[in-house]
Amino acid sequence: MTSRLPLAAQAVAAAATPPPGLPGLDPALSRLVPAAGRTWHLLDNGPLLDEAGVSPAGTVLCVHGNPTWSYLWRSFVSRATEQALAGGTAWRVIAVDQLDMGFSERTGVERDLTLRVGDLADLTDALGVEGPVVTFGHDWGGIISLGWAVDHPGLLAGVMLLNTAVHQPESSKIPAPLRVALGKGVLGRATVSTPAFLETTLALGHPALPTDVKEAYRAPYAGAKRRGGIGAFVGDIPTSASHPSEAERRRVAEAVRSLDVPALMLWGPRDPIFSDRYLDDLVSRLPHADVHRFEGAGHLIAEDVDYASAALTWLDDRFGADAADRHDDDRAQDPAATRSDTPFVPLFAALGSRRASDDTAVVEMPRGGGAEAVPRTVSWRALGQRIDRLATGLRSAGVVRGDRVSLLVPPGIDLTIALYACLRIGAVVVVADAGLGVRGLTRAVRGAWPAHLIGALPGLSAARALGWPGQKISTAALPAATRAALGVSHSLPELMTVGAAHPEGLPDEPGRDDPAAVLFTSGSTGPAKGVAYTHGQLAAVCRTLADTYDVGPGTGLVAGFAPFALLGPALGARSVTPDMDVTSPRTLTAAATAEAAAEVDATVLFLSPAALANVVATSDALTERQREALGRVETFLSAGAPVGTPLLEAAAALLPNATAHTPYGMTEGLLLTDVTLDEIRGAASPSGSTGQGGVLVGHPVEGARIRIAPLASDGTSSDAVTDEPGVTGEIVVSAPHVFGHYDRLWLTDRSSRRGLPEGRWHRTGDVGHLDADGRLFVEGRLPHVIATDTGVLTPVGPEQRAETVPGVVRAAVVGIGPVGTQQVVVVVETEPDAPSPALADADLARAVRAAAGVPVAAVLVVADLPTDVRHNSKIDRTRLSRWAEGVLAGGRLVEP
């Protein structure tokens, strides 16, 4: 083989063991092993298990990449050993130092991919490894471990991967750090004669690696003669079809598609080398894999997060003593196991009975329009035609069943047509609204990694600037220069023209259990999560809305909440989104709401609490005609955050002929309970019949079930669930229209179903209780439960009572200090002109303490309680808790 590196870098050196004292590395795990005439260093807990008389369930074969070594796997080997010796599921873990790497022998031979896959087989033969074997690879060790996997089907039980790749798309360049290292005249200097490549890798920790850990990674690579393998590894990256390793890479990449064993991928999205692009490719090859993306983690994911616990948990789920029972539970969560007996009618098919009508289907109010602005409308007949034409046109543009399509389009006609066209051809729509902000949208789009992106000009501009993935399709025809600058391939008008010319181009309809959508949560309690729905689950959402609120043909629907605007056509309702900034619900005015209501002769109105509050606040500007339009509304709903009775009362006065509802739901289950204002008025007491406080959200809707997982003394929820009245705990829900799973968040999904009964159950993260009549009261969020030395308390009840104090507009109750001895702090927003931020004066503090009904350590005053970015309604108690703790510890008194 012709050397591509200076011969001085290829000097042969004997294998060795690591020096003592490397942090986290147990010397008892280190050993040297001969195989096929070469000596390997590896970490291996097999001898320790033998000595303890423990028989392993199988072997995990861990393969590092470049320029790390087996030290990367130290926590996994140690944790697996501790688990085995403590009586848990035992795994023999072998973490290799590849030849020319770590403390293994320096061979003086440049080892291409084919040779390295063969090297690994030589080692496992020499060790007498028997099945079952689970491979575990990172970086370039990923494809090497997969090469071993596809070559040993008789031994293979599963595969696990950290950030890696098996394929480089021709449409994109190899990662920038590798392009630099491969540059002409750079390779040897960057990788061998200097430690630049090693140091660059060690700088990728999030947070930065401790100095002693960096020193441990450097230990086997002291001097150019020890770094030849680093350079050879970089030089072996296939960059063309003629590269010596390209044929083997292609062989392994294609063979991976045939693996039907359990698979796990743990991913760091901040990796500048193996980005989500490569994760998406791996998922396409192993679509059954469990995937978890750790937001904030990067290339050195093994250093950034507790990957070892995740991997051991997965191994236990899949191969532990009661793995079969757990697998049965997984099947019970499957949509097919819990579906409703109601006939399946997909969203787009529901348009069928209306397609011959020239009545108005969707109205788009002009944004910020003046007196001359005219609403844009589309009839049912035109809507159906455009959906079919766009569906055909999208297929001609390469959009096929199963492809993910990100929709970055404001609510309106274009979004409605694009959504239903994608659903018709079986594409999976990815919806993350602009209220997430640029950072949140970037996380969402990159996390879902769509193959296509349909956007209006602002969305396309952001996609170009921030490198969002997907073929770009514009909602409107653009000038050639703009189109080129934004990387746009097609426009919706162009594709509809293509579709009109080929009306026969529609494929078979997707089925009930086919994936339909990934809808992103608000991000109000952490990074937004992708919530995956099937076509059957979306259809169940529509049925639930129709049955609960009698929405159907003839209904005029004003939707200040995008999901319900998009479901309007499937319900047969005329729908309109009022003139508002969808990223800021508080921009909706009473006049804009009334104009929208008049345009569709609205009978149903749905607004978020923040939007509703501003509608009430601006109602004095309404004309008599606008008041008449609102007077024709028969039902109004407000949800997305707790809605106080005073706000509902004010809205009821503005909508005198409407029944006021405040349903409870979330992205994971859009409608789970419902209550009317009259029912709230008739409740036993403002705090509910059990006296625990909380917002009354009513009885479960048809098909939904509610249970409570009681709270422990540390504020966590138990595995047991109950429907006993008066028990406070995490709210657990089940319904045919509850979502399928979190997208690429296996650990989160697993946690949300922990300990639950069979069927599609979900832990909501909300806390509350049921009363004797089966009504649900919401008392806050699980992360906001306060664990004091006298017990746990939930925030909403004390907040409600604090808000009865004259001058207090809103209140937030938060805990500070260690769990188990937390102190209660009440942060209040008062009438305008009150000094803030400040410690409350003695009179206000005394009144709030008396009203709250719980021991209060301090009362603070702010001008405005911080809320989430999407609903502008949910108080950010986590942020307030950090702020209050800092203030009371002597920090600067500034607004939170």
Name the helix (H) or strand (E) containing 381.
Answer: helix 380-396
Report d(CA 364, CA 54) in Å as an integer.
Answer: 69
Residue-level pLDDT at 369: 59
The answer to whether the beta carbons of residues 534 and 517 sit under 8 Å apart is: no
**CATH class, 7-172+240-321 region:** alpha beta
Q: Give the strand pairing for 428-431 and 659-661.
A: unpaired
Structure-token match 């789970």, residue found? 672
- Homologous superfamily assigned to 785-896: ANL, C-terminal domain (3.30.300.30)
Name the helix (H) or strand (E) containing 720.
Answer: none
More confident residue, 647 or 85: 85
Residue 109: CB partners within 8 Å, gap ≥ 6?
Answer: 1, 10, 115
Residue 417 pLDDT grade (very low, low, confident, very high; cuts 50, 70, 90): very high
Residue 110 pLDDT grade (very low, low, confident, very high; cuts 50, 70, 90): confident
For 644, the token pair is: 């106080």
Same-fold call for 7-172+240-321 versus 355-510: yes
Structure-token match 């994109």, residue found? 172
**Phi–psi pair at 357, nearest 5 degrees:** -95, 140
For 643, the token pair is: 């809605």
Report d(CA 739, CA 59) in Å as an integer.
Answer: 36
Name the helix (H) or strand (E) containing 448.
Answer: helix 437-448
More confident residue, 649 or 610: 649
**DSSP-derived 3-state class of residue 307:** helix
Report d(CA 364, CA 198) in Å as an integer.
Answer: 56
Report d(CA 722, CA 701) in Å as an integer.
Answer: 18
Residue-level pLDDT at 716: 94
**DSSP-derived 3-state class of residue 875:** strand
Report d(CA 528, CA 870) in Å as an integer.
Answer: 11
Q: What is the DSSP code string of 645-663?
A: HHHHHHHHHHSTTSEEE--
Residue count (the chain)? 896
| C-alpha dist (Å) from residue 653 to 504, 614, 648, 675, 806 | 53, 14, 9, 18, 23
Is the previous residue joined to 67 through a cis bond, with omega within 30 degrees of 0?
yes
Residue-level pLDDT at 340: 52
Residue-level pLDDT at 580: 84
Residue 11 pLDDT grade (very low, low, confident, very high; cuts 50, 70, 90): low
The predicted-structure confidence for 24-54, as pLDDT tens digits, reads as follows: 999 999 999 999 999 999 999 999 999 999 9
For 136, the token pair is: 């575990």
The answer to whether the beta carbons of residues 505 and 392 sit under 8 Å apart is: yes
The predicted-structure confidence for 201-244, as pLDDT tens digits, reads as follows: 999 999 999 999 999 999 999 999 999 999 998 888 887 888 89
Fold of 550-662: Rossmann fold (3.40.50)
The answer to whether the beta carbons of residues 5 and 187 sit under 8 Å apart is: yes
| C-alpha dist (Å) from residue 481 to 83, 271, 473, 552 | 61, 33, 15, 45
Q: Give me the residue spans of the domains in the chain.
A: 7-172+240-321, 355-510, 550-662, 785-896
Calculate the CA 555 to chain-centre distance: 34
Q: Report which residue type is found at 174.
A: I
Structure-token match 């060690």, residue found? 202
Closest CA to 148 of 122, 113, 114, 121: 121
Q: Give the strand pairing for 404-408 and 452-455.
A: parallel
The predicted-structure confidence for 448-476, as pLDDT tens digits, reads as follows: 999 999 999 999 999 999 989 999 999 99
Report d(CA 26, CA 70) in Å as an integer.
Answer: 12
**CATH class, 355-510 region:** alpha beta
**DSSP-derived 3-state class of residue 795:** coil
Report d(CA 58, CA 90) in Å as an integer.
Answer: 8
Give the per-residue SS3 of 505-566.
CCCCCCCCCCEEEEEECCCCCCCCCEEEEEHHHHHHHHHHHHHHHCCCCCCEEEECCHHHHH
Share of the chain above pLDDT 70, in %: 91
Q: By mean pLDDT, which of 127-131, 266-270, 335-339, 514-518 is the weakest?
A: 335-339
Mean of the per-residue pLDDT values for the chain? Answer: 89
**DSSP-derived 3-state class of residue 262:** coil
For residues 214, 217, 223, 227, the Cα torsion angle rounded to the nearest 10 degrees is: -130
The answer to whether the beta carbons of residues 768 and 778 sit under 8 Å apart is: yes
**Which range is most confident: 95-104, 361-370, 874-883?**
95-104
Structure-token match 């209140």, residue found? 811
| C-alpha dist (Å) from residue 576 to 194, 358, 374, 626 | 64, 17, 14, 16
- Cβ density class 214-232: b for 16+ within 10 Å, e for less: bebbebbbeebebbbbbbb
Q: By mean pLDDT, which of 18-22, 282-286, 322-326, 792-796 is the weakest?
A: 322-326
Closest CA to 234 of 191, 200, 297, 296: 191
Report d(CA 525, CA 877) in Å as an integer.
Answer: 10
Q: DSSP assignment, residue 189?
A: I
The predicted-structure confidence for 707-721, as pLDDT tens digits, reads as follows: 999 999 999 999 999
The answer to whether the beta carbons of residues 367 and 391 sit under 8 Å apart is: no
pTM of the shown model = 0.91
The answer to whether the beta carbons of residues 133 and 58 sit under 8 Å apart is: yes
